[in-house]
Amino acid sequence: MMGNFLLAVVSRLAYLVVLAFHKSYRYRFVGVENLQAARQASKYGNHIYAIWHQNLFVGITAQTGWTHVVMISKSKDARPLAYTLQRLGHMTMMGSSKSSSGVDKGGRAAKDQMTEILKTGVGGAITVDGPKGPAHYVKPGIVDMAKQAEVALVPYVAIADRYWVFNSWDKFRLPKPFAKIVIGYGRPISVSPTLPYENFRKVQDEIGASLVALEDALTPQFQNWEKLSKENIKVPGAN
């Protein structure tokens, strides 16, 4: 655990490092029309990004300055991430999964708060297999949140032409400086506000399959780099 002073220093350094990486990257965007479709399908004109935890770094930097609400761990060690997200223009909800003894660590309250923010029209983002895995296993939380907020889900993939891979549970990817980044938005997935819990698994499987298929489709796009769009789409709640 870090003391408050050290935590503040680490938070600022982390933000500066992330910002430096971000400014060195070159971004291209595929499937931006799917964001518009998601907004039209949502009650409040917004959407929730569904992203693998391993792609979180560049998934965040690609949306710099465009406000989304993001749920992260409530642990003290996660505060540098919260600080960085806020400096990049996002909102954060801090909550963790239940402990091994079944004690709620703020996850339910954070989820409820995030749902209410989504109802104001701000976009959201969730690592569907986070915070601790298993990797590439979509958990039901994002389906429940989309149901409660009546917001469409958008499969969101962010890949680089070169990156470091960490020896972590998710094989976390950190794109190298000056990397080319392709951002892909999949077709929106709508969740009925009356969907029973026993049918969540079907939606979870659809999200997972969409993310896998989208990454497979994006990988060859680096060969068409010069033809790809540099323009993202401005989302509800943007600064």
Q: What is the mean pLDDT of residues 103-110?
A: 69
**Residue 76 confidence (pLDDT):** 73
**pLDDT over 70 at 236, yes or no:** no
Q: What is the pLDDT of residues 42-87, one digit of tens each?
A: 999 999 999 999 999 999 999 988 899 998 877 777 889 999 999 9
Percent of the chain with pLDDT over 70: 92
Locus of tokens 């931006």: 32
Mean pLDDT score across all residues of the chain: 91
Q: What is the mean pLDDT of residues 20-27?
A: 98
DSSP 8-state secondary structure symbol assigned to residue 44: T
**pLDDT over 90 at 103, yes or no:** no
Q: How many helices (H) and strands (E) does the chain have?
A: 7, 9
CA separation for the pair 81, 183 (Å, rounded): 21
The residue extents of the domains of the chain are 4-227
148-162 exposure pattern, b = at least 16 Cβ within 10 A, e = fewer: bbbbbbbbbbbbbee
**pLDDT-wise least confident of 7-16, 36-45, 88-97, 214-223:** 88-97
CA separation for the pair 77, 7 (Å, rounded): 8
**Residue 193 confidence (pLDDT):** 97
Q: Which two tokens stand for residue 220?
A: 């060859």
**pLDDT-wise least confident of 53-67, 99-113, 177-191:** 99-113
**Residue 98 confidence (pLDDT):** 56
CA separation for the pair 234, 42 (Å, rounded): 16
The per-residue DSSP string of 56-120 comes to HHHHHHTTTTS-EEEEE--SGGGHHHHHHHHHTT-EEEE-BPPPTT---BBHHHHHHHHHHHHTT
Element (H, E) at 206: helix 200-218
Local confidence band at 7 (pLDDT 50, 70, 90 cut-offs): confident
Q: What is the mean pLDDT of residues 114-130?
A: 95
Reported in sequence order, the residue ranges of 96-209 that DSSP labels E, i.e. its strands, are 123-127, 152-160, 163-165, 173-175, 180-185
**pLDDT over 50 at 238, yes or no:** no
**pLDDT over 60 at 99, yes or no:** no
Q: Which of 80, 92, 79, 97 is nearest to 15 (CA)?
A: 80
**Residue 189 confidence (pLDDT):** 98
**Residue 105 confidence (pLDDT):** 58
